[in-house]
Amino acid sequence: MTKAKYIFITGGVCSSLGKGVTVAALGTLLEGRGYTVSLQKMDPYINIDPGTMSPYQHGEVYVTEDGAETDLDLGYYERFTNSKLTRKNSITTGQIYFSVIERERKGDYLGRTVQVVPHITNEIRNRIYALENDNETDFIIVEIGGTVGDIESIPFLEAIRQMRYEHGSSQVIFIHLTLVPTIVVAGEAKTKPTQHSVKELLQLGIQPDVLVCRISTPLSKEMKSKISLFCNVKEDNVISAVDINSTIYEIPKMYKEEKLDEVVLKTLGMDQRKLNFSEWDKILKRISNSKKKVIIGVIGKYISLQDAYRSVYESLSHGGIANEVIVEFLKINPEELDKTNVKETLKSVNGILVPGGFGERGIEGKIVAIQHARVKEIPFFGICLGMQCAVIEFSRNAAGLKNANSTEFNQSTENPVISLIEEQMEIERMGGTMRLGSYPCIIKKNTLAYSEYKSEKINERHRHRFEFTLKYKETLERYGMVFSGSSPDEKLIEIIELPDHPWFVGVQYHPEFKSKPFSPHPLFAGFIRAASKYSR
């Protein structure tokens, strides 16, 4: 029998209520009480993973150490807790059906009819249990994606209903996150959507133990008792999740004050160990002490979408925490940027960041912005595609390599300074064919990268197909580019920099997946430090 306690979090009424952050914040509070947690996301879509989905569909693709392309909620889990996440922490309907169908083809079901119950639900349960087999975890917190009432999530809800039935209420609990909207003209908060959402859950055999109600101002005592009565949930277990307008790092504190962790521990009959919140208090203090503003121009195709560069924005704000400055973003669509307007468009920024991306759209605008950063000595940080664009810009405009480009954008360019990773040349299938996950990188001493990392060997997460073309290294070095980091066999360039510039760094990997508010990534901390010193 399994020992861990299972906490399942479902969402009701509508999406975007902050379920991922709630899961992460609960993890923070339980860890703060000395417990170990593991967090898992169940996504009800049929894709195997979000790797092939457009950012418009899905937001950012978050990459784990072991190279899984996952939901961006895993980013919150890692930023808020110490839990180590792998591909086992991100499950989709696609993965579940894929393995059941594979087994069916192998004949593993011995002639039986393969059905949603029990075969699909068993597979879901096995994926949840699989987390516990790896490490002795006190709590496994599982977020069920989507909104209760959706057709897609029914097998997941059925699986967790079975788990509650089998393991009982002292081992399995349900938290339901809902919305209590305020009708502006009436000035009244309404509990009816919450009641209806709980009814939907009850139809599926799930009685929530805790209700977390997203609301603009805290629930009144009367509202709590009304919700309690209509939804069969103890009054103490009806929690307000008040809108936070400042930083999302206030959310664990908000839930601490609302006693979410206390209620969870009590419901599961666990010890109320003393909560150590000092690290988070320190961060919040640094944030509220920050007065100086630093504006970072983020140049990306998907800037209209909040979530497309989620980890980049978070990491930049960690850089702000490290330097006690407020980081603000000027989001710029590279398709609207050219030589005639770059100076005017970027006149307010203290630093320029070009994040990762795929495809040709917007590339020339990014190159114009990078040239502006290089020539005007504005701190610049290029990530993955941003680093590749920095190489292209330098090759064309500083090293005189005519029409230098990446073969991703021009197959027949005279100077393919960025090209396909050789061993991947023959791979045609999309999805899961990239260089993914954590790889080591060796850093040269006496470089900016070394002075930021203070280490000769680092590990960073990757998600790319294209690489710097090694035969151009000497030429670019001659013109002043420094290749400060590479794979241990020196075949793959990982970091470039320009020494005659206040702060100009490009990295082939994604440092934004490893930054946390309480341990800001050294490159983001360094970039914001340089940006805060830059004055126009």
Asked if 44 interacts with ligand GLN (CB under 6 A), we say no
Query: Which is closer to ligand GLN, CB of 155 or CB of 355?
Result: 355
What size, in residues, is the chain?
536
Query: Which is closer to ligand GLN, CB of 184 or CB of 430?
Result: 430
Binding mask 345-384 for ligand GLN (x = CB under 6 A): -----------xxx-------------------------x
CB of 285 to ligand GLN, least distance (A): 35
CB of 386 to ligand GLN, least distance (A): 7
Asked if 465 interacts with ligand GLN (CB under 6 A), we say yes
Distance of CA 162 to the CA centre of its chain: 30
Tell me how far CA of residue 76 lies from CA of 17, 79, 168, 273, 303, in angstroms: 14, 5, 29, 24, 20
Strand order in the sheet with 238-242: 90-92, 37-43, 139-144, 5-11, 172-179, 210-215, 238-242
CB of 436 to ligand GLN, least distance (A): 10
Tell me how far CA of residue 399 lies from CA of 348, 454, 476, in angstroms: 29, 30, 6
| Residue least distant from ligand GLN (Cβ) | 356
152 secondary structure, DSSP code:
T
Asked if 268 interacts with ligand GLN (CB under 6 A), we say no
* Nearest residue to 322 (alpha-carbon basis) of 369, 282, 265: 282
| Interface pick for ligand GLN out of 33, 214, 461, 463 (rule CB under 6 A) | 463
* Nearest residue to 163 (alpha-carbon basis) of 136, 144, 147: 144
CB of 463 to ligand GLN, least distance (A): 5
Are the C-beta atoms of residues 137 and 38 closer than 8 Å to each other? yes
| Interface pick for ligand GLN out of 352, 385, 458, 495 (rule CB under 6 A) | 385
CB of 158 to ligand GLN, least distance (A): 37
Binding mask 389-408 for ligand GLN (x = CB under 6 A): -------------------x
Asked if 464 interacts with ligand GLN (CB under 6 A), we say yes
Asked if 109 interacts with ligand GLN (CB under 6 A), we say no
Catalytic residues, by residue number, are 384, 510, 512
297 backbone φψ class: left, alpha, beta (φ>0; ψ -120 to 50): beta
CB of 421 to ligand GLN, least distance (A): 8
Query: Which is closer to ligand GLN, CB of 319 or CB of 356?
Result: 356
Residues in a beta bridge with 467: 419
Dig out the tokens for 488 from the structure: 């241990």
Dig out the tokens for 383 from the structure: 């990530």
Residues near ligand GLN (CB under 6 A) are 356-358, 384-385, 408, 463-466
